[in-house]
Structure 1
Amino acid sequence: MPRHPALGASACATVLAALAAAASPARAQVPPPDLVIEGPIDGIAEDGKAIHVMGIRIRVDSGTFDTPTRLGVPLADMTKSLPGRPSGFLHGTAIVTGGSNGRDVYATNVFSDVNENVIVGEVTQKDPLEVNGLPVVQLPQKPAAGTSDFPIPSSQPRNIFGFDINPSTIDEGTLVSIEGYLGTDGRLYWHTLEADAGRPLNLKAEVSILRAQCRRNGNGKDELEVRGAVHPASGRTLTSPVPNVEIYLQGATSPILRATPVIVAPAPATIAGFYAEYTARSNKLTLGRCPQTITVKWGGDTDAQVATVAP
């Protein structure tokens, strides 16, 4: 068959190459958030818009990353020194989610806690605090009001009943859970601490919310659970019976739930005379919609706690 007079040899080759390209599948792309990279941080770009993890260059258009206790930290802060770590976050662990197109990798979220080091152990020394012989140091604390410029500000230490405590009141032999990072000086720098005991900072009576969860199952099988604890003012003991807890549900479609509080009688905890725990739970509700927030009040106490309901 004669070749088409309008096509020379080079033109034919070009057409054939184009047809072959059209017949083959295009390069696959990984859409966010399917791409996940977890590994050591090698470095930060000078413009603060990229991070290198295990040698992979990852574009971070937001120029920020998150830590366990602060969101939106400038990426450039990764290179600043931390207590016990002169190199800051460098060589620590980053968890990146995002997407990619060939070698072009971009992040929708970057998270780092330096290194996740956790201890659930016994207080073996009170001042300075040691857990199973390991010295532990609190990171700079976020102010009660306002924000902190520190990348991983520590939260207020709490006991298992959900109340803020003074860590110096945790006795030897107490079980504690601590999360932070191990410094180059052999000390654990913590941002989160929970203890089985410890004196509440608030000397007045308090109520806490440890859990507020709702699940829609339909057909009269919706679930709602709220639990927490109470304690009297410092120097006092719980009365018997313990005053009721009142739970108010905001944003619920049910008029009954919206207008009438759920009344729960707290039960004294194992630490006799000072703490009592409450639980409100049902799996036979018809909610129409889960409540948006929950407010808990206790007896004649003026304190109230508000929680956002987790789905």
Structure 2
Amino acid sequence: MSVSEREEIEKSSAPLIEHLVELRRRLIWSIAGFFVAFLVCFFFAKKLFNLLVVPFKWATQWAGLDPHKVELIYTAPQEFFFTQVKLAMFGGMVIAFPLIATQIYKFIAPGLYKNERAAFLPFLIASPILFLMGAALVYFFFTPMVMWFFLAMQQTGTDNQVQISLLPKVSEYLSLIMTLIFSFGLVFQLPVVTSLMTRVGMLSSQGLVDKRRWAIVIAFVVAAILTPPDPMSQIGLALPTIILYEVAIWTSRMIEKNQAREKLEREKAEATTETEKSGEAGS
């Protein structure tokens, strides 16, 4: 540790009580941001739910049915109310996440070196972007695909068959959407997690390459656990996971190259400094 780095840490150090006060202030901001976002989402809960039903309507069109006849039900008096509460909590957390992540960063930033803060900030920005990319993939592609798969199991009641129609409950439909969004959003954090672990030396690109076969198996196992029990959603989650694993290998290699270049430049600078000091001492 250099003298300047040690001085930087000592300047940023604070007594325990100041850390607790700072933590309390960051928690208040985070909770207040979530509460405001929750109230806004609850006020527009019905409109948000209708927006989430749009992929279901697309699926009915793919199945050759009338999208205007899409119908969902609730079988308990309080079910739709609590569904709106759950939707508002989920939406509030998504909306407030940038604020919460910023408060976490501001709390831990004084304990980081300047170069560590500069390295951590891009991941703070990339994390919500990747989560939104996963959510968009769920909304525009995988939810219609999954619902189309389920709609294909209906029976029309012809040829001496009993009529069997899909009539989902509002709570179960929301749970399906939330599960898919959470699963894909979580999987899309893979490049962020592996890049951070590579920076601190816990992973290497070669190690990721060596474990590629295990990663493929684990991707399908995780997809089977996180998604509904149908092959469409399981394969739909496993394939992006494998692609993101390859992206993680590429980003790890780039980080290692940058670290090697920075190390070489630092060694050259130190050698130059030593040469200058030796020249001054000789003169």
**TM-score, normalising length: structure 2:** 0.24
Name the structure with the higher strand share. Answer: 1
If asked which structure has higher relative contact order (CA below 8 Å, sep 6+), I would say 2
TM-score with structure 1 length normalisation? 0.23
* Greater fraction helix: 2
